Amino acid sequence: MVTKNYPDPKLNEKLRDRYYRRDQSKPEFTKAVREISGTMAHMCYQCGTCTGGCPSAPRSTYRIREFMRRGVLGLDQEALTDPDLWLCTTCYSCTDRCPRDLAPTDVIMAMRNLAFRQDIIPVNFLKTVQAIYSSGHGVPNNDVNRAAREKLGLTRDPPTTHMYPEYIKGIQKILDHYNLKANADRIVKEREG
Amino acid sequence: MTTERKYAFFLGCIAPNRYPGSESASIRTSKKLGIDLVPLEGASCCPAPGAFGSIDLNVWYAMAARNIVLAEQMGLDIALICNGCYKSIYEVNHKLKHNKELRDAVNEVLKEIDMEFKGTIDVWHLAELLYDPEIVGVEKIRASVKVPLKGTKIAVHYGCHLMKPKKERHMGSTEAPHWIEELVEALGAEAVEYRNKMQCCGAGGGVRGYDLAHSLDITNEKLQNIVEAGADAVTEVCPFCQLQFDRGQIEIEEKFGIRYNMPVFHYNELLGLAQGMSPEELGLDLHAINTEPFLKKVL
Amino acid sequence: MAEAVSPTTSEKSKAPRIGVYICHCGTNIAGSVDISAVEEYARTLPNVAHVDNYQYMCSTPGQGKIEESIKEKGLTGVVVAACSPRLHEPTFRTATKEGGLNPFRFEMANIREQNSWVHMHDREGATEKAKDAIRIAVAKASLLEDLYPKSVPVEHAAMVVGAGVAGMQAALDLANAGIKTYLIEKAPTIGGRMSQLDKTFPTLDCSQCILTPKMVDVGRNENIELMVNSEVEEVEGYIGNFDVTIRRKASGVLSPKEAEARGIVGGGCTGCGDCVPVCPVTKPNPFEMGMAPRKAIYIYHPQVVPLLYTIDWDSCVKCGLCVEACGEKKAIDLEMQDELVKVKVGTVILATGYELFPIENKEEWGYKRYENVITSLEFERLICASGPTGGHLVRPSDGTTPMRIAFVLCAGSRDNTGIGKPYCSRFCCMYSLKHAHQIIEKIPGAVPYLFYMDIRSFGKAYEEFYYRIQDEGAKFIRGRVSNIQEDPKTKNLYVYAEDTLLGRPMELEVDMVVLAAAVQPTDLTNKTRKLFGVSCSQDGWLLEAHPKLNPCGTTTAGVYLAGACQGPKDIPDAVAQAEGAASAASIPIHKGEVELEPYYAMCIEEKCAGCGMCVNLCPYSALSLVEKDGRTVMQVTEAKCKGCGTCGGFCPGGAIWMNHFATPQILAQIDAFLIGGEQ
């Protein structure tokens, strides 16, 4: 990219260099996406079938085809810093219909994994991690529900980690193996103080 | 009743912790159809495929594997009632069975908690067991009906992760399936077709948490199509979809000012009704959307 | 095992002296193989009397090297290490012959396709592999023997299977060249797919108008014997002498000629159609893609050739009303049986055509689920003046005229999912442009929307046609259709795609959708090709002998390909290939005899126990058991034998000698590979 360094920052932004140049492509990004997704992401021929049936596309600027293109060209920062990356509902319609037999949904998941490695992640994802770390459940039980369960003849807590908290230790070990809880706590703290 | 089949019942989170009636309905209706759902003690969140899959697929594999190993230790196949859980538990089980490299990596982690994935069991969605004539089948369900849901029109929402991606499942058409409609009609109700039936509910992939309005806008589109088709209720086989349609309607009203009052049932709740369970036994009072208008038609 | 001795040469003439020639092929071989190292190595091999290398061995000086050194060094065999024998074996055989040796004393070592091209980045490995290949070839060349090809006479007749435009053209060319030609067609009329089309791109001629004169020519040509309602049942023989059994399916109707043969003077079908109104059975007409009715006794359309009615036995109730209506012509025989006819021909052209693949398998577009989603062939019939609606394009759901019509291009083509076809179907872009033109021309105010990935308008005047249609008002949307939803009340269709050039998803409400469905070989293609021993590619299209230099031939001598059976083709390409195939098929017939490669099996009668197991194994029916000197022994019909080696490999007594692939030769190759130069 050509840096212009004009004194007026507004002009600098307005006239920002728009050329695609080869040095923006990171072949290792293309490779990483292919490996994590398990699909031949580099084979996309940009027909747009994915976006055409995507439930998120008509209500946002999210274009899964563009993410596929960024994967093909290795445009890592363009893909990973785009907030639209998190608008995929993982419905897999694009995967079922892709004529090249690719799995665009899994490409998105791979890119999200790569984004997380750069601490790019919405906090709601991390809060699920925190909830599971402490209770084993992403959506834990509460007192209203306990009462309702009792009325239905069920145990107040379901026979999961809720009723058998001794199992939570194992879950924590797995999450700690990947240092996931510590990372989640750190990022949430950075964002929310 | 002929031989009873036993399955380890994997609950997930939303059914036991938000719609417990769905949990008890599943156990009681299945019992009548020859399926014994045994508690899978110590199970956790599947874990949520959208959240964990997005963060690190390796954690997703390991966490799901732990749940699968619990069932392996009981020597039972898993049955579950949530599409999200199905994606995690079914898909990870399948991947670990067929990918040695992945299995070894996961077992390396499981070793820390004295567990090992062996690949000895299969994973089923209860809905597919109900439809399978070798196990239950539409005829047996029809025969178990005491209170036919006559005169009701029900729209089926299949959800996504039960059948898609098609190549990693085994349930046929993902564009125009009809088997859950058959299950609905076995209860005496009329299943109605509606535009874009296979569209997502909008909740998955972490979108509900990331951008609620976006997620509800998808739900709203589906509800419009369902209302257009003249449905009295929606049925699904996924508590997360259920949550999105049921509580989502309250949120839609808050955010968009549109009110539907469209009752939402997990299929097993409808099956419970048809087999004669009372609304109280099904915990229908816990639903966000009042089910009374629908119940009046059948009871 | 190794002591088996050729029945032709009881003693070795002289010690083998082999010449080895290594080709650089420019840098094709020399770029990844160390030629001088290979040359040095070759000199150390037993029996090698001469080694040389050259830039291009296939060039005139390269061939000259072989010819000269055979004479100078008294060589008995030649090894050229170069490309695939499929390319230059004939070249070097000729050079060997020019040098004074029997041409079958030549052996090729492939060090290009199977070596330098696949081991481009492994010079050391490629060099070692080239040494292996040469050592093996020398081992075989040391044991090669003189062989003499046999000539067989060629029957002065040809057969064309399939009477679409390609088959008709091929038959006409052969017939006009003075060759008796049997034209076999499974349908009741000739004409094929082209007769179902309304207009043709890019000239917009009426398809039937340009086709029917050809159909008439075929019907009238004295050298063409037309057999409709017919399928190939059995094939025996080989180039020059194919014995083909044709099943003529009972049509239930006699032609005037057939009536005369039965002694019915002045009888037979005149095509008057009196039988039709009385027939009580109504069925969909397949020619109209099922969109118009026909009776159990029917013709496809008024211009059929031959103009003879046909009975559909699956629906005929044999009430006899048609027989009554036919009256004195006595053309209808409700008890008619299939007939097996045997003909002998010298060469055969397969022209079995294409059909649309079952596009309903791509469920996202709703064909057979949504009434107003139709295929391109259905569109052709609906827009055609002689079609079921008299050329008025209407919606199947309500008979109204559609004003907004979406065309889905690449509908199942360029599809790697396993449901569609991985290849480009080649003519869908162009006919979809033509469809767009027809709509604009016939329905004022109607707008065609073409959803495309690439418009492939590669033919002569095709790009200009694209320009013209865009100018006429067709809308082009660069995006593949993701899915289609039907409004259950209006039966209108919502087409979902992304306009990839705008980067916006689109929802287009239209009245009708036309799917430009991928094409595939016709249902009988596979059966027919197997009868003639022709290979097919993975996707079922018949395999040409060479994709560039022999596109009309097949690997079975005497069998040629014309039209879309070899791969999707538009009309000009199909006709051009048909003319090429006809020319190729006429050459052996005009020469009058063909030389057969002398790779046939031979029986070593002293060793043959007459068990006959080989007779049953032979895929070409080339073997039989005969009495000789009071013993039962096997006998080979050399012209039928393809030298496949099935019998030779199986014979428990080692009594079968495979010329040019004899057991001692093959064992020598294996020994050379496994234990080096020693034999």
Q: Model confidence over C86-121: pLDDT tens digits? A: 889 999 999 999 999 999 999 999 999 999 999 999
Q: Taking Cα atoms as reference points, which of C312, C315, C287, C79 lies closest to residue C193? A: C287
Are residues C471 and C366 located together in one domain of the fold? Answer: yes
* Residue B66 structural domain: 5-126
- Is B240 part of any domain? yes
- Is C470 part of any domain? yes
Give the residue, C115 or C236, on which the prediction is more confident. C115
Q: Kindly determine whether residue A101 and residue C503, on different chains, have CB atoms separated by under 8 Å.
A: no
Are residues C348 and C225 located together in one domain of the fold? Answer: yes
Q: Kindly determine whether residue B209 and residue A116, on different chains, have CB atoms separated by under 8 Å.
A: no
Q: Kindly determine whether residue B164 and residue A36, on different chains, have CB atoms separated by under 8 Å.
A: no
By Cβ distance, the residue of A66, A93, A99 closest to C417 is A99
CATH code of residue C388: 3.50.50.60
- Is A163 part of any domain? yes
Mean pLDDT value across chain A:
96
Closest-approach residue (CA) in chain C for A63: C503
Which residue, A62, A84, A117, sits at the end of a domain? A117
Are residues C239 and C309 located together in one domain of the fold? Answer: no
Which residue, B94, B126, B158, sits at the end of a domain? B126
- Is C186 part of any domain? yes
Which residue, B126, B151, B177, sits at the end of a domain? B126
Closest-approach residue (CA) in chain B for A128: B51
By Cβ distance, the residue of B13, B110, B217 closest to A137 is B13
Q: Kindly determine whether residue C500 and residue A46, on different chains, have CB atoms separated by under 8 Å.
A: yes
How many folded domains does chain C comprise? 5
Question: What percent of chain B lies above the pLDDT cut of 70?
Answer: 99
Q: What would the two tokens of residue B67 be?
A: 């749940």
Are residues A25 and A82 located together in one domain of the fold? Answer: yes
Q: Hey, of A100, A109, A174, A185, which one would you mutate to test binding to chain B, going by the most B CBs within 10 A of its CB?
A: A174
Query: Tell me, what's the pLDDT at A80?
Result: 98
List, as one string, the DSSP characters of A147-169. HHHHHTTS-SS-TBTTT-GGGHH
Per-residue pLDDT for C13 more than 70?
A: no
Give C-chain residues touching A45 at CB under 8 angstroms: 414, 453
Mean pLDDT across the stretch C180-207? 97
Are residues A79 and A127 located together in one domain of the fold? Answer: no
Which residue, A65, A94, A117, sits at the end of a domain? A117
Q: Measured in whole angstroms, how far is the alpha carbon of residue A84 from the centre of its chain?
A: 10
For residue C140, count other CB atoms closer than 10 A to its CB: 23
- Is A101 part of any domain? yes
Are residues A164 and A93 located together in one domain of the fold? Answer: no
Min Cα separation A73/chain C (Å): 17
Q: Distance (Å, rounded) from C-alpha C364 to C-alpha C412?
A: 11
Q: Kindly determine whether residue A47 and residue C415, on different chains, have CB atoms separated by under 8 Å.
A: no
Would you call A101 an interface residue with chain C, using a CB distance cutoff of 8 Å? yes
Give B-chain residues touching A61 at CB under 8 angstroms: none
Are residues B232 and B88 located together in one domain of the fold? Answer: no
Would you call A51 an interface residue with chain C, using a CB distance cutoff of 8 Å? yes
- Is B60 part of any domain? yes
Which residue, B95, B126, B157, sits at the end of a domain? B126
- Is C10 part of any domain? no
Work out the pLDDT band at A126, boundaries 50, 70, 90: very high
CATH code of residue C627: 3.30.70.3270
How many Cβ contacts (< 8 angstroms) between chains B and C? Answer: 17
Closest-approach residue (CA) in chain C for B192: C488
Are residues B109 and B217 located together in one domain of the fold? Answer: no
- Is A31 part of any domain? yes
Q: Distance (Å, rounded) from C-alpha B74 to C-alpha B42?
A: 12
Which residue, A99, A117, A135, sits at the end of a domain? A117
Q: Distance (Å, rounded) from C-alpha A156 to C-alpha B55?
A: 32
Q: Kindly determine whether residue A99 and residue C499, on different chains, have CB atoms separated by under 8 Å.
A: no
Are residues C67 and C124 located together in one domain of the fold? Answer: yes
- Is A147 part of any domain? yes
Q: Distance (Å, rounded) from C-alpha C539 to C-alpha C533?
A: 17
- Is B160 part of any domain? yes
- Window 187-246 of B: residues touching C by CB (8 A cutoff) are 193, 195-196, 229
Q: Are C415 and C509 in contact (CB under 8 A)?
A: no
- Is A4 part of any domain? no
Closest-approach residue (CA) in chain B for A159: B41
Closest-approach residue (CA) in chain B for C361: B173
Query: Tell me, what's the pLDDT at C40?
Result: 96
Are residues C370 and C513 located together in one domain of the fold? Answer: yes
Question: What percent of chain C lies above the pLDDT cut of 70?
Answer: 98
Query: Tell me, what's the pLDDT at C86?
Result: 85
- Is B245 part of any domain? yes
- Is C666 part of any domain? no
- Is C11 part of any domain? no
Are residues A91 and A74 located together in one domain of the fold? Answer: yes
Are residues C96 and C171 located together in one domain of the fold? Answer: no
CATH code of residue B87: 1.20.1050.140
To the nearest 10°, the Cα dihedral for B217, B223, B229, B230?
-150
Mean pLDDT across the stretch C430-455? 98
Q: Kindly determine whether residue B217 and residue A132, on different chains, have CB atoms separated by under 8 Å.
A: no
- Is B131 part of any domain? no
Are residues A79 and A163 located together in one domain of the fold? Answer: no
Are residues A77 and A166 located together in one domain of the fold? Answer: no
Work out the pLDDT band at C10, boundaries 50, 70, 90: very low
Min Cα separation C360/chain B (Å): 11
Work out the pLDDT band at C677, boundaries 50, 70, 90: low
By Cβ distance, the residue of B16, B200, B206 closest to A91 is B200
Min Cα separation C115/chain A (Å): 28
**Integer distance in angstroms from the first to the last C-alpha of chain A?**
35
Query: Tell me, what's the pLDDT at B1?
Result: 45
Are residues B102 and B243 located together in one domain of the fold? Answer: no
Would you call B178 an interface residue with chain C, using a CB distance cutoff of 8 Å? no
Would you call A99 an interface residue with chain B, using a CB distance cutoff of 8 Å? no
Q: Kindly determine whether residue C488 and residue B193, on different chains, have CB atoms separated by under 8 Å.
A: yes
Would you call A130 an interface residue with chain B, using a CB distance cutoff of 8 Å? no
Closest-approach residue (CA) in chain A for B21: A152
How many folded domains does chain B comprise? 2
Are residues B119 and B163 located together in one domain of the fold? Answer: no
Q: Kindly determine whether residue A48 and residue C418, on different chains, have CB atoms separated by under 8 Å.
A: no
Give C-chain residues touching A50 at CB under 8 angstroms: 482, 498
Query: Tell me, what's the pLDDT at C642?
Result: 84
Q: Distance (Å, rounded) from C-alpha A62 to C-alpha A83?
A: 9
- Is A15 part of any domain? no
By Cβ distance, the residue of A48, A63, A93 closest to C497 is A48
Are residues A102 and A178 located together in one domain of the fold? Answer: no
Q: Distance (Å, rounded) from C-alpha B150 to C-alpha B133?
A: 23
- Is C677 part of any domain? no
- Is A1 part of any domain? no
Mean pLDDT across the stretch C39-52? 96
pLDDT tens readout for residues C294-305: 999 999 999 999
Query: Tell me, what's the pLDDT at C6?
Result: 53
Q: Kindly determine whether residue C505 and residue A46, on different chains, have CB atoms separated by under 8 Å.
A: no
Which of the other chains make 3 or more beta carbon contacts under 8 angstroms with chain A?
B, C
With a CB cutoff of 8 Å and minimum separation 6, the contacts of B100 are none
pTM: 0.90
Are residues C200 and C347 located together in one domain of the fold? Answer: yes
Are residues C182 and C318 located together in one domain of the fold? Answer: no
Question: What percent of chain C lies above the pLDDT cut of 90?
Answer: 93
Closest-approach residue (CA) in chain A for B27: A154
Would you call A46 an interface residue with chain C, using a CB distance cutoff of 8 Å? yes
Which residue shows structure tokens 């025969």?
Answer: B143
Which of the other chains make 3 or more beta carbon contacts under 8 angstroms with chain B?
A, C
Are residues A108 and A53 located together in one domain of the fold? Answer: yes
Cα C404–Cα C407–Cα C409 angle in degrees, nearest 5: 165
Give C-chain residues touching B173 at CB under 8 angstroms: 363
* Residue C649 structural domain: 601-658
Mean pLDDT value across chain B:
97
Give A-chain residues touching B167 at CB under 8 angstroms: 96
Give A-chain residues touching B160 at CB under 8 angstroms: 89-93
pLDDT tens readout for residues C606-660: 999 999 999 999 988 889 999 998 999 999 988 788 899 999 999 999 999 999 9
Are residues C482 and C386 located together in one domain of the fold? Answer: yes
- Is B135 part of any domain? no
Strand order in the sheet with B190-192: B190-192, B153-157, B233-236, B264-266
Give C-chain residues touching A47 at CB under 8 angstroms: 410, 453, 479-480, 500
Q: Taking Cα atoms as reference points, which of A53, A52, A22, A27 lies closest to residue A41? A: A27
Are residues A111 and A127 located together in one domain of the fold? Answer: no
Which residue shows structure tokens 């004939």?
Answer: C90
Q: Are C501 and C476 in contact (CB under 8 A)?
A: no
Q: Kindly determine whether residue C483 and residue B173, on different chains, have CB atoms separated by under 8 Å.
A: no
Query: Tell me, what's the pLDDT at C120?
Result: 94
Q: Distance (Å, rounded) from C-alpha B29 to C-alpha A158?
A: 18
DSSP state of B16: H
Instruction: Give me the interface pTM, i.e. the ipTM.
Output: 0.95
Closest-approach residue (CA) in chain A for C482: A49
- Is A25 part of any domain? yes
Q: Are C629 and C578 in contact (CB under 8 A)?
A: no
Query: Tell me, what's the pLDDT at A158?
Result: 98
Give C-chain residues touching B193 at CB under 8 angstroms: 488
- Window 498-517 of C: residues touching A by CB (8 A cutoff) are 498-500, 503, 505-507
Cα C601–Cα C607–Cα C609 angle in degrees, nearest 5: 95
Rg for chain A (alpha carbons), in Å? 22
By Cβ distance, the residue of C415, C420, C505 closest to A51 is C505
Q: Taking Cα atoms as reference points, which of C601, C455, C524, C592 lies closest to residue C152? A: C592
Residue type, A185: D
How many Cβ contacts (< 8 angstroms) between chains A and C? Answer: 71
Are residues A168 and A185 located together in one domain of the fold? Answer: yes
- Is C460 part of any domain? yes
* Residue A169 structural domain: 123-192
Are residues C347 and C213 located together in one domain of the fold? Answer: yes
Q: Hey, of C363, C364, C486, which one would you mutate to test binding to chain B, going by the most B CBs within 10 A of its CB?
A: C363
Which residue, C541, C562, C591, sits at the end of a domain? C591
How many folded domains does chain A comprise? 2
Would you call A128 an interface residue with chain B, using a CB distance cutoff of 8 Å? yes
Are residues B184 and B93 located together in one domain of the fold? Answer: no
Give A-chain residues touching C420 at CB under 8 angstroms: 99
pLDDT tens readout for residues B142-173: 999 999 999 999 999 999 999 999 999 999 99
Query: Tell me, what's the pLDDT at A192?
Result: 92
Are residues C131 and C25 located together in one domain of the fold? Answer: yes
CATH code of residue B265: 3.40.50.11810
Are residues C25 and C121 located together in one domain of the fold? Answer: yes
Q: Is the peptide bond before C202 cis (omega within 30 degrees of 0)?
A: yes
Are residues A76 and A153 located together in one domain of the fold? Answer: no
